[in-house]
Amino acid sequence: MTDSRIPTVRLGDDGPEVGVQGLGCMGMSFAYGPSDAGQSRATLERALELGVTLYDTADAYGAGENERFLSPFFKAHRDEVVVATKFALAIPPDEPTRRIIRNDPPYIRQAVEASLRRLDIDVIDLYYMHRRDVNVPIEETVAVMADLVREGKVKHLGLSEVTGDELRAARSVHPIAAVQSEWSLFSRDIEAGVVPAARELGVALVPYSPLGRGFLTGSFADAETDLTDDDFRRQQPRFTGDNAAANAALLEPVRAVAEAHGATLGQTALAWAQQRAQVHDLPVVPIPGTRKPTRVEENTAATRIVLTDDELALLEPIAGKVAGDRYADMTFTSAGRE
């Protein structure tokens, strides 16, 4: 494995310069079964050595636990890292296991203060609206986020799982550095509306779950039999039962392309996500999630793989054949509102 640092790219017309691949930190505290804190810390340090500078968290990951876990790393490397966190998935006081979407100004104000406290930093580099509450005009939400920029609590703004029209409305209020939405060989619904709007407006795309939550690496085949009881992927229709079996068969062309490059399945999936930048003519910074230093080495090495037109053509039909939605409730996604 070489030690080469990955190249950098600007995150949208007015955004920060970041390594062309970021690191998703969610799994270190949440969603994907037990984590080893020492391994996760080593992963963060190794990622930084390899030129990864965009680190992705959210207040909802482990109800604040992920932000607290990352804080010492961010503080130790404050000038080298771009800290991205999110608000909008709130815990109702009487139901600690449920999440509701809140985009209203009073909620945002208390959420940003809580994130700054847990992260123990003075300013958040990139602050995303995590999910859209359709009962609050997006202009109202972004106006408060813009106030946070003016007040010096936040440097750049982002949105997650918005439609193209919502992005346009948001951009009319304040520059948006990035849209973070699911984008992978298995999930391409954002290419119809959001991606063209982002290109038009000078907004970067930050694909989340670019490894299909691990399924595209072949590391699990059926969430119900292969993953722990508390693993979030057991709730996702495409990863269980007949859907999972049908979807595993879709990895065959990925395997063929991987072999041609002497690469892994995961590297091929990441190279495909990275190449969306050229295909759609906009900055793209995937944020694969891992808790293992060797995997961060493997994943960043994918930035050096360039797929040919024939290989892209072989991979093209996969997303259209995937069985089962990416969430149990698709109204939680931009696809549910397009």
The smaller minimum CB distance to ligand NAP, of residues 32 and 272, is found at: 32
* 223 closest CA partner among 207, 211, 236: 236
Start-to-end C-alpha separation, the chain: 42
Whether 61 sits among the annotated catalytic residues: the reply is yes
Listing DSSP states for 75-133 in one string gives HHTTTT-EEEEEE-EEPPTT-TT--EE--SHHHHHHHHHHHHHHHT-S-EEEEEE-S--
Pick the catalytic residue from 55, 61, 127, 128.
61
Among 160, 163, 240, 303, binds ligand NAP (CB under 6 A): 160
Among 247, 290, 300, 303, binds ligand NAP (CB under 6 A): 290
214 binds ligand NAP (CB under 6 A): yes
Nearest approach in angstroms of CB 139 to ligand NAP is 21
Judged by DSSP in three states, 315 sits in helix
**What is the x/- site pattern for ligand NAP, positions 124-153, by CB under 6 A?**
------x-----------------------
Residues 24-63 that bind ligand NAP (CB under 6 A): 24-27, 32, 56
274 binds ligand NAP (CB under 6 A): no
Nearest approach in angstroms of CB 296 to ligand NAP is 8
User: Residue 151: CB partners within 8 Å, gap ≥ 6?
Assistant: none
Q: Are 187 and 217 a contacting pair, CB within 8 Å?
A: no
Residues 221-260 that bind ligand NAP (CB under 6 A): none
Among 287, 301, 305, 318, binds ligand NAP (CB under 6 A): 287
Of 2-10, 188-196, 286-294, 307-315, the segment contacting ligand NAP by CB under 6 A is 286-294
Q: Is the dihedral of CA 307, 323, 33, 227 positive or negative?
A: negative
Pairing assessment for the beta strands 100-101 and 89-90 based on DSSP bridges: antiparallel
Q: How far is CA 287 from the centre of its chain?
A: 5
291 binds ligand NAP (CB under 6 A): yes
Among 67, 125, 166, 298, binds ligand NAP (CB under 6 A): 298
* 32 closest CA partner among 205, 236, 269, 314: 236
Among 213, 238, 276, 326, binds ligand NAP (CB under 6 A): 213
* 67 closest CA partner among 104, 114, 31: 114
The smaller minimum CB distance to ligand NAP, of residues 240 and 299, is found at: 299
Among 85, 163, 299, 300, binds ligand NAP (CB under 6 A): 299
Of 23-31, 92-100, 167-175, 316-324, the segment contacting ligand NAP by CB under 6 A is 23-31
Q: Are 26 and 56 a contacting pair, CB within 8 Å?
A: yes
Helix%, strand%, coil% for the chain, nearest 5 = 45, 15, 40
The residue ranges that bind ligand NAP (CB under 6 A) are: 24-27, 32, 56, 130, 160-161, 180, 208-214, 217, 219, 266, 287-292, 295, 298-299
Enzyme catalytic residues: 61
